[in-house]
Amino acid sequence: MIKTIKILVVLIICISCTSKKKEALIESFFNDVFITENKTGEELHKEYIYIETDRPLKDKLLFFNEGVRILKETNPLLSDKKENLSFTITKYTESDYNDLIPFYKEIIKDVYVITAKSKVIAYVLMKEDKIYAFNTLQKGSQGPGYFISDFN
């Protein structure tokens, strides 16, 4: 019985550490995109993005850079350096916001919610320890959300 409890404690600690590691990666990505802005698209892609296909890098970067542009345009709060704005990162399953976009159950455990000034500003889908997607699309106001990820 004690051995089982020890194993459960270790598993809970490991899951918590993994979640914190992912949150730190997302925070670093958003800081690099919105605050420091000192990395090229290629550097950001290499450091933060989960690579899935063998498509040429130039094609991936084209979609990635467009995705970053859209992220910046749709989140002017984060781009305003005068605000010295902070943001929070929460696992979707642990978020207490009522107006979250619904996602399919298969991906919920890998979705993180980015908020600033008490407003949801973005969602990030993780795969392993990297970002799989950071732009979403929702059909209608009640339909499920879809992640756009043509840069993997």
Give the model confidence (pLDDT) of 44-80 as tens digits. Answer: 999 999 998 888 999 999 999 999 999 989 887 776 6
CA–CA dist 130, 103 (Å, integer): 19
Tokens linked to 99: 């107006």
Q: How many domains does the chain have?
A: 1
pLDDT at 13: 45
Low-confidence ranges of the chain (pLDDT < 70): 1-18, 79-85
Say if residues 112 and 89 touch (Cβ distance below 8 Å): yes
Report pTM.
0.84
pLDDT at 19: 78
Query: Which domain does 124 fall in, by range?
Result: 2-148
CA–CA dist 113, 89 (Å, integer): 6
Tell which residue, 107, 105, 111, 99, has the closest CA to residue 142.
99
| Angle (nearest 5°) at CA 84 between 81 and 88 | 115
